[in-house]
Structure 1
Amino acid sequence: MSSQSPVRGTAPGPRAEPVQRLLFGGVYGTVLASALAAALDHDSGPSNPGYDALWILVASIATAAAHGYAHSIAHRTVGEEKVAAGTLRSVLAEWPLVVAVVPTLALLLGASAGWWSEGTGINIALGINSAALFGWGLLAARTAGQAWTSACRVGGVDVLLGLFIVAANILSH
């Protein structure tokens, strides 16, 4: 791929999901995982990173299902048959949102295994997620045909989402 040609079309894979779906799910899931991890507060009791990881996973699945369902309803046409199949496809197409929370889950599960503290896992997750937001912004801009310099600026703006969550986490604790 040359430095001037953007990434176009669809992402590789058996179902060739549109790049836009990947970008949306990636950004949304990364921000969701960061916000939920930053909100973990165990001032009233002992930390349980395994339990916290489970709830982040449940929240991401529920969010993906709700978004897919809402998308299906918004695009439903009068007289459309096989509504259930279309709705199920729309819900399943939200898989990138769930996959985007995996780094946060892995770090919390590592804390659950005793490899590091939950606080350390959350801090690392917030850093990784901020870097991922830069990557999502860069990919989105390149997909839209922007040059590398402007794509890096877009990635930098996306990082601000992550830094906002990090700042909120610091201020709330």
Structure 2
Amino acid sequence: MGDESTAGTAGVDRPEPSDNAGAVYGSLLAASVVAGTGPGEQPPRPGQLIALLLATGVVFWLAHVYAQLATERSTRAFPPLRSIRAAARREWPLVQAAVPPAAAAGIGALAGLSDAGAAWLALAVAVGSQLGWALYVAARAGATWIRLVAAGVVNLLLGLVIVLLKAALSH
């Protein structure tokens, strides 16, 4: 039988899957953003943290889309719209990964947590998301249970480093 990915799809734009590894990176980025807001005497207000998380996700998404298009560029001065859409879709998990910690900051504020408490909640959610996405990506790749455990340990250690940096920068 022929290639199933192209059978019967001549001229049809098939969506490319997103890059789930981008969600791992995006979660790590979100955790780093929260950790980076620690210096100074006062943590950011939850609204500021939400804006910072979402803006950082969008900026890095745009940077990744641009980098992909720059490396895929042919002799054309401008890449075709199809390539732009595909790159944007592939990298969208970078933005999506910023949403859970941003939501956590907002929920923490609504629940009456202090600004620092909302930031710690956002950090916990970002690290948890990072771990969850890393395990999901490894499982989808067919990792053995030993490799799943290793992926979990590595991502927990990365999360721990970020938490330790947050604690050190907050004092």
- TM-score normalized by the length of structure 1: 0.77
Equivalent runs, 1:1-173 vs 2, <5 Å: 15=15, 17-18=17-18, 21-22=19-20, 24-41=21-38, 43=40, 47-79=44-76, 82-113=79-110, 115-173=112-170
Cα distance in 1 for residues equivalent to 2:167 and 2:121: 14
Greater RCO between the two (CA within 8 Å, min separation 6)? 2
For residues 18-70 of structure 1, what are the alpha-carbon distances to aligned partners after superposition, in whole Å with 9 as ceiling and x for unaligned? 5xx02x22111101111111121473567421022112211110110110111
Residue pair 2:43, 2:115 contacting (<8 A) in 1 also: no
- Residue 129 of structure 1: CA displacement? 2.4
Give the match's secondary structure for 1:93. helix
Distance 1:104 1:160 in 2: 19
Letter in 1 for 2:143: Q
Cα gap change, 1:42 to 1:108, in 2 (>3 Å): farther
Q: Give the unaligned 5+ runs of structure 2.
A: 1-13
Query: 2:69 & 2:152 partners in 1: Cα distance?
Result: 30
Q: TM-score, normalised by structure 2?
A: 0.78
Larger radius of gyration: 2
Q: Would you say the 8 A contact 2:24–2:130 is kept in 1?
A: yes
C-alpha RMSD of the superposition: 2.5
Distance in 2 (alpha carbons) for counterparts of 1:137 and 1:81: 34
Distance 1:50 1:114, change over 3 A: farther
Inter-partner Cα distance in structure 2 for 1:97 and 1:133: 11
Q: Mark the CA change 1:43 to 1:171 in structure 2 (over 3 Å): closer, same or farther.
A: closer
C-alpha separation between the residues in 1 aligned to 2:96 and 2:159? 18
